[in-house]
Chains A and B, each alone.
Chain A
Amino acid sequence: MLVHLPILQVIVPLIAAPTCLILRKPKLVWLFTLLASSLAFVISILLLQQVMLTGTISYELGGWSPPWGIEYRIDKLNAFIALIISGVSTVVLLAAQTSIEKEIPQEKQTLFYILYLLSLTGMLGILTTGDAFNVFVFLEISSLSAYSLIALGKDRRALWASFQYLIMGTIGATFILIGIGLMYQMTGTLNMADLATRLPEVAETRTITTAYVFFIVGVCLKLALFPLHFWLPNAYTYAPSIVTAFFAATSTKVAAYLLIRFTFSIFGISFSFTTLPMETLFLILGISGIFIASTVAIYQDNIKHVFAYSSVAQVGYMIVGFSLTTHAGLTAMLLHMFNHALMKGALFLALAAVVYRVGSTRIADFQGLGRQMPLTMAAIVVGGLSLIGVPLTVGFVSKWYLVVAVIEKGWWWLAGLVLLGSLLAVIYVWRIVETAYFKAPIAGRQPVKEAPMAFLVPVWLLVSANVYFGIDTRLSVEIATAAAKSLFGVAQ
């Protein structure tokens, strides 16, 4: 059984999805989905343990040996990210039933869980597979289910947001497919490990450069890297709240994984960063992303928009770490992926609780909530502090590693810019705090009650994780360092 864990990671949610149709009753379907997601979480824990102990696992699908058959390949990098995704998915699901009761009509609730599971399947599939074409297939599975999930949003603008995402996402996926196709044409293989050994022979050709560029642009679209982020704010804002919490914490992480995997393990550092001025390009995009998206976030009226733009800015931080192309920089990026999932999971889930009670996330509706929903607001404050990077939260750990990595390169000016970026976060987080705590409740509105336990438990689980991993960093730092090290080992 343990040998089959890599495929079970994907199969469990995949089989669970159609099974939901048999169960029908939303409450039962919810419990079943929760069970499937927890199982996936347990599997990813087991896989990570195994990888940390014994090194990379290679699994031959159907017993066909690679490169002819499809290979699933688990190393420290994807085991780490699979853990983040299945973990957040499970915690977010705890609140799902309560949240969608108010946001999704009864007859569509089963559909919601099916799509959720398919989306999870797609993400986990992208992570575990060692086959480039498989990546595209799983990407489409996760994307198509994502478009439908976003379209389930109560607000009619959800349809428009979903359509926008559909167009942009499809362009991205097509670019990725073109990139993979060109690679296949030049090397005759789709197996990632095999690609990595064969690509250097043809690296000098223009076709491979084209393949690389198509692929990277496609991935950056899915990553919502500035300036390819236009689909993200609306998609996050008008989707059902639970979907936002799930995607904000996971979907950009998967795209970031693809970026790391293809540049470091497949194309190799020397190709990726010498043929084209990618370091400078990524650095500029990352920094502009941080400053522009954070500034836009300050002027948003809807708190979901605020945090969505903040997500774009956080992708900027990851990319700055990535652009350093050093071990320390990559460690910082991986750590921030883990930490950002915890922050945004907590924040968007808390917003889901606000939607449940108040029905809106416009800033004006937050007036007086500090008193009426003390636990939910306290969660937003802690999550916000983590976003700013205050010590004893995970945000501080991310920032620390990123700045250390930047200074190691000798770029003091960049270290200054990274720190200045967090000041913008102070502004947009503090607008919320001020409104919630120091403005009287809106006159005439029914007093709002604290969110139900179904929200408080998962929200505070994630908030505690923000604090716990900000104090005891052994787990996250150890895995991120090991993953970064192995990537540099493979690449050089």
Chain B
Amino acid sequence: MNLSLETLLQLCILLPIFSTIGIVALRRHQNLREAVSIFTSLFVFYSVVSIYLGLQTGETISVHWLQILPGLSVSFTVEPLGMIFALIASFLWLVTITYAIGYMRGHNEDNQTRFYCCFAIAIGAVMGVAFADNLLTLFIFYEVLTLSTYPLVTHAGTEAAKKGGRTYLGILLGTSIAFFLFAILGTWMIAGTLDFTQGGVFPVDVDTTLLGVILVLFIFGIGKAAIMPFHRWLPAAMVAPTPVSALLHAVAVVKAGVFTVMKVSVLIFGIDLLSILPTTQPLLYLAGATVLLASFIAMRQDNLKARLAYSTIGQLGYITIGALLASPIGVIGGSMHIAMHAFGKITLFFCAGAILVAAHKSKVSQLDGLGRRMPITMAAFFIASLGIIGIPPAGGTWSKWYLLMGSMDTEQWTILVILLISSLLNIAYLLPIPIRAFLYKESPANSALGVKEAPLACLIAIGITTLATMALFIYPAPLYELASSILQTTSIAHGQ
């Protein structure tokens, strides 16, 4: 295929959205319907990789669609931070869709056509968020993402699912309209532009108190970043089927949130301005408090998925901290953590789903001795846990390393201590799970059952993401290069 990179970029967004037509048309032929989803995800991944290779050769790729309001257009461009997000999302979507097909069929779920349609629209929206060239475009796709994932959360249609869906939609739509849109409008009135610009958009003579308030609105408005007290939607969304949880927690929704936080910090405020705003420091402490509190709550959860959900809230706090440290190394650490956490967390969720499918267990306290029956799954769980904690041989090591360096670099000693304590807490709530599985004695009734692993499709997905987690430990260089080129103009030499 000889499509220009601009065409590929547009197809990344449009193809998933138009694939819903195919999915609906083929709703009576399961295999063909799933083939549409897989073909789309393959093509999107191929396109993103092509764009990545194009970016390496130094091409500028940008597309302008249409002007919605005078001076405000829907347009897209490729820059390193968006590239990281697009690469992770398109790759993990491919893996997740494979996993989802196995899972949904295994469970004989209803409304599968609706499920795959919403899944496809969600990934189109993620691509739109990743490549957005201005805040308006980003906001549009951010909302599309919220709305398209809502039916996924309420998929079961039970009273609990509807309640979870209400919290999900209420918080995400509520914060985005009341705060995020407000912050965008404020930015527009002050700066006169919403384009993402290296070094920020605000003129130098603007009152820093006003900008500080706008920063607060941004941080709270981007509810997908789950900074407390707007984190409730994440545990509420646990009612969704496991592949959806994986998509929400690792790939699409939460990452769209922290990605937006990062993008706003670096390309709307600019880290120089960010470091002198009066509200940056309080927000940094709030993010730190979120990290600690979420970890403490995670320790007390017996439900495996709920424990992972609170772990996600904590890990998102890391990335927000990386952005708000307002230093080049912090930004690098935060951006790398977007990728590292994605691979680690999606593996954990896949494992949780596999345990549910194969052993019908959803509570941590039921997992004693399970390692003997599901050795592959539990081993993957162990490695992914190491990735979240940030110790070798998993990629999470590097992002935590840079985050710690960033906090030292900016002399944020409190944050440094918080990050260190949090790592210990991560150990305390994640490692007991594989320890129970491998070292504890199983109840005699179960021990007779022998090895029974999850379905092959699930194991393959788990294997791929686990290997990727380890690969990122050994070859972090491409990711590091992308992350360090986010701030092209700023020197990063002293970080080496």
The chain A residues found within 8 Å of chain B, CB to CB, are 385, 388-392, 397, 399-400, 403-404, 407-408, 412, 415-416, 419-420, 422-423, 426-427, 430, 434, 437-440, 470-473, 477
Query: Contact at A407–B186, with CB atoms within 8 Å?
Result: yes
Is B444 part of the contact surface with A, judged by Cβ < 8 Å?
no
Bound Cα distance from A412 to B188, whole angstroms: 13
Q: Which of B334-389 contact A (CB under 8 A)?
A: none
State whether A477 and B70 are in contact (beta carbons under 8 Å apart), knowing that A408-B189, A415-B182, A426-B174 are contacts in the complex.
yes
Query: Which residues in A have their C-beta under 8 angstroms from that of B178?
Result: 416, 419-420, 423
CB distance from B139 to the nearest CB of A (A): 6
Query: Which residues in A have their C-beta under 8 angstroms from that of B147?
Result: 385, 390
Closest 5 CB pairs of A and B: A391-B140, A438-B157, A407-B189, A403-B185, A419-B178
State whether A438 and B185 are in contact (beta carbons under 8 Å apart), knowing that A391-B143, A426-B174, A477-B70 are contacts in the complex.
no
Instruction: Give the nearest-CB partner of A434 in chain B.
Output: B162
For B177, give its contact among A389, A438, A439, A472 (CB under 8 Å).
A389
Instruction: Give the nearest-CB partner of A481 in chain B.
Output: B70
Determine which residue in B154, B177, B182 has the highest number of CB atoms from chain A within 10 A of its CB, and name it. B177
CB distance from B188 to the nearest CB of A (A): 7
Query: Contact at B188–A419, with CB atoms within 8 Å?
Result: no
Bound Cα distance from A464 to B144, whole angstroms: 17
Bound Cα distance from A408 to B186, whole angstroms: 10
CB distance from A162 to the nearest CB of B (A): 37
Q: What is the predominant secondary structure among interface residues of chain A facing chain B?
A: helix
Query: Which residues in A have their C-beta under 8 angstroms from that of B68?
Result: 397, 470-473
Bound Cα distance from A415 to B181, whole angstroms: 10
For A426, give its contact among B157, B162, B170 (CB under 8 Å).
B170
Instruction: Give the nearest-CB partner of A370 in chain B.
Output: B114
Count A-B pairs with CB separation below 8 Å: 71
Query: Contact at B69–A430, with CB atoms within 8 Å?
Result: no
CB distance from B110 to the nearest CB of A (A): 11
Query: Which residues in A have their C-beta under 8 angstroms from that of B165?
Result: 434, 438
Query: Contact at B169–A415, with CB atoms within 8 Å?
Result: no
Query: Which residues in B have their C-beta under 8 angstroms from that of A477?
Result: 69-70
State whether A397 and B162 are in contact (beta carbons under 8 Å apart), knowing that A416-B182, A426-B169 are contacts in the complex.
no
Is B151 part of the contact surface with A, judged by Cβ < 8 Å?
yes
Is B166 part of the contact surface with A, judged by Cβ < 8 Å?
yes
Instruction: Give the nearest-CB partner of B74 in chain A.
Output: A471
Instruction: Give the nearest-CB partner of A401 in chain B.
Output: B69
Query: Contact at A397–B177, with CB atoms within 8 Å?
Result: no
Interface size classification for chain B: 20 to 34
Bound Cα distance from A397 to B162, whole angstroms: 30
CB distance from B169 to the nearest CB of A (A): 7
Query: Contact at A400–B69, with CB atoms within 8 Å?
Result: yes
For B189, give its contact among A392, A404, A419 (CB under 8 Å).
A404
For A397, give its contact among B69, B170, B188 (CB under 8 Å).
B69
CB distance from A468 to the nearest CB of B (A): 11
Query: Which residues in B have their C-beta under 8 angstroms from that of A408?
Result: 189
Query: Which residues in A have their C-beta under 8 angstroms from that of B17?
Result: none
For A392, give its contact among B140, B151, B177 (CB under 8 Å).
B140
Q: B57-91 vs A: 1/0 string, CB under 8 Å? A: 00000000010111000000000000000000000
Query: Which residues in B have their C-beta under 8 angstroms from that of A416?
Result: 178, 182
CB distance from B180 to the nearest CB of A (A): 10
Query: Contact at B69–A473, with CB atoms within 8 Å?
Result: yes
Is B201 part of the contact surface with A, judged by Cβ < 8 Å?
no
CB distance from B133 to the nearest CB of A (A): 15
State whether A438 and B69 are in contact (beta carbons under 8 Å apart), knowing that A419-B177, A426-B174 are contacts in the complex.
no
Query: Contact at A430–B185, with CB atoms within 8 Å?
Result: no
- List 24 contacting pairs A-B, 8 Å CB cutoff, sorted by A: A385-B147, A389-B177, A390-B143, A391-B136, A397-B68, A404-B189, A407-B186, A416-B178, A419-B177, A419-B178, A419-B182, A423-B174, A423-B177, A423-B178, A426-B169, A426-B170, A426-B173, A426-B174, A438-B154, A438-B161, A438-B162, A471-B68, A473-B68, A477-B69
Query: Which residues in B have their C-beta under 8 angstroms from that of A471?
Result: 66, 68
CB distance from B218 to the nearest CB of A (A): 14
